[in-house]
Amino acid sequence: MKTVLNFVYQPYKWIIVIPFLFIITMIISTLCIIVGILMTQDAVNVLAIIWSKLCCIIVPLKVIVKGKKYYNKNRSYVIVANHQSMADIPVLHGHLGLKIKWIMKKELDEIPVFGAACRSLGCISIDRSHHDAAVQSIEKAKKRLSQNACVLFFAEGTRSRNGKIMPFKKGAFKFACETGIPILPVTIKNSFQILPSDTLDLTPGSIEIIVHPPVYVSKHHMDRLDEMAEQTRQTIASSI
């Protein structure tokens, strides 16, 4: 039955979904740039949420959020999540209800219109091939975060190619310790089946966002970065 449904879905995907996603991304990205010039990051965030929800509706994706009791929508967190798919960004942006600024690779920042829109939102571009430059980008980001902003780190550093969680890098935990912002572990479940990495094999379905209790840190925890990274990875992996 699943094979039949996937076959039937293909014309809809190529004729409706992919053109719609491209067009709506360009339109809302342009609006983000304009609004970012005239207004605040929070106003741009509203547009990002609209874009995210429209993306999920057109696919369509059913998004289930568990663990809402563990976070307050009016405070800042360092969100640490696993990364299975390109679907992860709209799923988190559109359904957590937080003001999310994500750490993105430099290549995305260089995409015309889209990159400028991400900068208007307050996203942080890093060059993963140059460690010192990446650190400097994150340092600058600390100074320009809007009130109650949350910084999203995909702690594996890249998308999983097989759906399994890879080792976590320490950048998110160092950032949390230096700023005193609590870590909010988040598990993204099933997005690999919706859109596997490096493919356009998009299918409709359900994605779960599982939010875990926050971890409160300070500069005193700087000597435990490896331990925190592994504990957080285990917490996130426990719900896969």
Task: Band the pLDDT of 131: cuts 50, 70, 90.
Answer: low
Q: Return the SS3 of 188.
A: strand
Rounded-to-integer distance, Cα 120 and Cα 109, Å: 11
Let me know: does 103 contact 153? Beta carbons within 8 Å. yes
Rounded-to-integer distance, Cα 194 and Cα 38, Å: 37
User: 2-6, 47-51, 180-184, 210-214: which range is least confident on average?
Assistant: 2-6
What tens digit of pLDDT does each residue of 155-187 get? 998 888 777 899 999 889 988 988 889 999 999
What tens digit of pLDDT does each residue of 192-239 get? 989 888 788 899 999 999 999 999 988 878 888 999 999 999 999 998
Q: Return the SS3 of 28.
A: helix
Enclosing H/E stretch for 63: strand 61-66
Which pLDDT does position 140 carry in this prediction? 64
- Sole residue written with tokens 């971890």: 215
Structural domains in the chain plus CATH codes: 2-237 (3.40.1130.10)
User: 28-42, 69-83, 154-168: which range is least confident on average?
Assistant: 154-168
The Cβ of residue 55 has, within 10 Å, a number of other Cβ atoms equal to 24
Which pLDDT does position 20 carry in this prediction? 96
Residues 132-158: what's their mean pLDDT?
73
Which pLDDT does position 46 carry in this prediction? 94
